[in-house]
Structure 1
Amino acid sequence: MERKGLAARASGNPSPPALGEGPRPGPPPCVPSGGGAPERGQAGAAAEPAELIRRAHEFKSQGAQCYKDKKFREAIGKYHRALLELKGLLPPPGERERDARPASPAGIPKASRLSEEQSKTVEAIEIDCYNSLAACLLQAELVNYERVKEYCLKVLKKEGENFKALYRAGVAFYHLGDYDKALYYLKEARTRQPSVRVRIHALKIIRRARWANEGLKKSSSSKPCGVHLQPQVPGEQRQEYHLTAGVPD
């Protein structure tokens, strides 16, 4: 009987289950090929950190190509996919200094399993993705400056001297009406950029932010509560500025 069972398995016909075993599970269903990495809920949760990092880098590269092709919505999707691949590889910022953490559930990569080189690679990809997401949003006809600010601050938490994040944060705060923070971030960016063109553009925004800040202070002292004046830069009347034009990619 044993020989017959072996012959059946060799010929591709599995032998029937032994008494008391119950039916055996069939093969997993085929996953249609989508031209990209599998969904994180399927293979992503059990993948090794090196594979997750590889896929994240691939999505980031695809996003960069979409950005070059001016397909900004597609680029945003690619950058989000890259960040999704990295989710869980690094602990939250408040826990990165803790050595003792509870063991991860089976199949989920634990941050402590990352080598030092892998940790640096993950952070570099995260920084690039958040910076690139901010750049994509700034290309929109109606810019979501709140989201631009959010992405830039994520970068600056990891890399406080990142020029692009400082610059874009300054532009975002300017458009959100927080001129004190706009001045701070733009001044910080200006000191870290050797490019004359970008420095000149930063100075222009700083000048406008100063005038706007002074205008707000004057309006708050001369107008009743709840009434706001639109700050105006002298000599420029009602001209509107597209301050994102000079923001570096």
Structure 2
Amino acid sequence: MDEQGAAAEPSHPGRHQTSVKPVQVLLEEASQLKTEGNTLYREKSIRSAISRYHRALLVLRSLDSDVMSSLKGFGPEIPVLTPEQEALLRNTQVDCYNNLAACLLQRQSVDYTRVRDYSLRVLQWQPRNVKALYRAGVATLEIGDTQAAKQYLIKALREQPNDANVKKHLQRAEERLKLELQKEKAMYRGMFSSGLKDSSREGINQTNEASEGV
């Protein structure tokens, strides 16, 4: 192919479409996908809602400096966003990750690790986000890290003191911590008691040996 043909190739329709779309168009596309996801979630079409949220996040990847900075030099330049566009980007990402976590919690078999991971992504950008704190707490409690779960739920309760669900799961975490402490104490008592018995047996044996010697 000659140089003229090579130069003309990128202008063919259907090629590199996403790389040449204006920033605002991509942001609006992601926002629309998120809105469709919300509608599907309300209609209980959980799988379709999850698909929309994932697609929205995929559209936003090329605009996210946190994601693209690690790929610098291997693809198109990261576009410069205005403060308003940056805010829309983050808010859409936050909503999508929060809503993905909500979708997963609606499934019959819940992947609590993914719920926690999605919630923690939100908390990187918005440390006081109540929904993310609550879902991180619930997921972490189910995974088995009760102390960490309690901390997330305490923070959620500070932000929303009257939330009944937060209070309920915080109470669950505190009750579980009490049980874990009781089991730990019982285990140590058992170890201590076993040690005393062993010491007592050794003392009896030594006494018997001394008596036989006399």
| Closer/same/farther in 2, CA of residues 160 and 66 from structure 1, 3 Å limit | same
Query: Aligned residue for 1:69?
Result: 43
Q: Distance in 2 between matches of 1:201 and 1:115?
A: 42
Please give the per-residue CA displacement for 1:180-239, whole angstroms capped at 9, x wherever unaligned: 101110111111114342343244323333234325534764789xxxxxxxxxxxxxxx
> 174, 177, 191: which one pairs with 1:207?
174
Q: Distance in 2 between matches of 1:184 and 1:104?
A: 40
Note the residue ranges of structure 2 that are not aligned, 5 or more in a row: 192-214
TM-score (norm 2): 0.74
| Closer/same/farther in 2, CA of residues 218 and 46 from structure 1, 3 Å limit | farther
| Closer/same/farther in 2, CA of residues 177 and 199 from structure 1, 3 Å limit | closer
AA of the residue aligned to 1:192: E
SS in 2 for 1:191: helix
SS in 2 for 1:79: helix
Query: Aligned residue for 1:5?
Result: none
Query: Aligned residue for 1:120?
Result: 87
Query: Aligned residue for 2:209?
Result: none
Q: Distance in 2 between matches of 1:86 and 1:179?
A: 34
> 40, 50, 56: which one pairs with 2:24?
50
Query: Aligned residue for 2:135?
Result: 168
AA of the residue aligned to 2:94: I
Is 212-221 or 45-54 further displaced after alignment? 212-221
RMSD over equivalenced CA pairs, Å: 3.2
Query: Aligned residue for 2:110?
Result: 143
| Closer/same/farther in 2, CA of residues 157 and 94 from structure 1, 3 Å limit | farther
Q: Distance in 2 between matches of 1:184 and 1:141?
A: 27
Match runs of 1:16-35 below 5 Å: none
Q: Distance in 1 between matches of 2:57 and 2:167?
A: 34
1:92 Cα deviation (Å)? 1.6
Rg comparison, structure with higher value = 2
Contact 2:61 2:68 in 1 (8 A): no
Note the residue ranges of structure 1 that are not aligned, 5 or more in a row: 1-20, 32-40, 225-249
Query: Aligned residue for 1:6?
Result: none
TM-score (norm 1): 0.65
AA of the residue aligned to 1:61: T
AA of the residue aligned to 1:143: V
